[in-house]
A and B are shown apart, each in its own frame.
Chain A
Amino acid sequence: EADIYQTPRYLVIGTGKKITLECSQTMGHDKMYWYQQDPGMELHLIHYSYGVNSTEKGDLSSESTVSRIRTEHFPLTLESARPSHTSQYLCATKKQGGKTEAFFGQGTRLTVV
């Protein structure tokens, strides 16, 4: 069983608020990913990290930012939330190496009102 945790599971917040979505893993994986997914739709890669202090933007432009100060944590921050940010955010980890699978958290469903 993969040990990857996302908090909160659900978040309803007002426009203009700053939010941080947490993603933590206990597997020591180097690779971590953030995806944005609207209901019934595809996953869009918005950020990924291949190790401490190494982050890259994904294929979908996002106003969010990430940090990777420790291997275990990969938080995602929105400085000023807007209704257009309403979505589900999924975090994943992967051990380094071409033959390895990704493990997903349960996601954070964000609603900005």
Chain B
Amino acid sequence: SQQGEEDPQALSIQEGENATMNCSYKTSINNLQWYRQNSGRGLVHLILIRSNEREKHSGRLRVTLDTSKKSSSLLITASRAADTASYFCATVNQGGSEKLVFGKGTKLTVNP
């Protein structure tokens, strides 16, 4: 199957709680990116982590990358109802073509 398998497939939490999503991939990567998609529309980029980085923060987002385990996690802290969306990880392969491959996504529901 494709790279970037997210886990869990669906997650339902209460406002104020933290949400953690995991992603695994199979091949060598240049970087890994997380995107958000609202209601089947176009995706919006959230954060990028390079293969030589282990952790990155952006506002309420925290991303980790473990290249030895070929996995990444996205943590959203203090979640809000507006965070309800699908979240996808995507990997960019090494090499010039920069093929961008997405996983299956995690559907996050934040209940008010």
Contact = CB atoms under 8 A, between A and B. Distances in A.
A107 B88 contact: no
B40 A107 contact: yes
B48 A45 contact: no
A48 B99 contact: yes
Contacts of B45: 101-103
Q: Kindly name the residue among A41, A50, A88, A104 whose own CB sees the greatest number of chain B CB atoms within 10 A.
A: A104
Interface stretch (B14-22, B67-75, B76-84, B100-108): B100-108
Contact of B2 (A42, A48, A56, A96): A42
Interface residue SS majority, chain B: strand
Contacts, number: 74
Contact of B105 (A42, A45, A58): A42
B80 to A, nearest CB: 22
Q: Kindly name the residue among B48, B96, B100 whose own CB sees the greatest number of chain A CB atoms within 10 A.
A: B100
Interface in B38-73: 40-45, 48, 50
A31 B30 CA distance: 15
A13 B42 CA distance: 22
Contact of B43 (A41, A45, A104): A104
Nearest to A31: B98
Contact of B97 (A40, A48, A100): A48
Given A42-B105, A45-B101, A104 B96 contact: no
User: Which 6 pairs between the two chains have the least Cβ-Cβ distance?
Assistant: A104-B42, A101-B45, A42-B104, A43-B102, A98-B30, A104-B43
Contacts of B105: 41-43
A103 B71 CA distance: 23
A52 to B, nearest CB: 15
Q: Kindly name the residue among A40, A50, A101, A106 whose own CB sees the greatest number of chain B CB atoms within 10 A.
A: A101
Contacts of B35: 102
B86 to A, nearest CB: 8
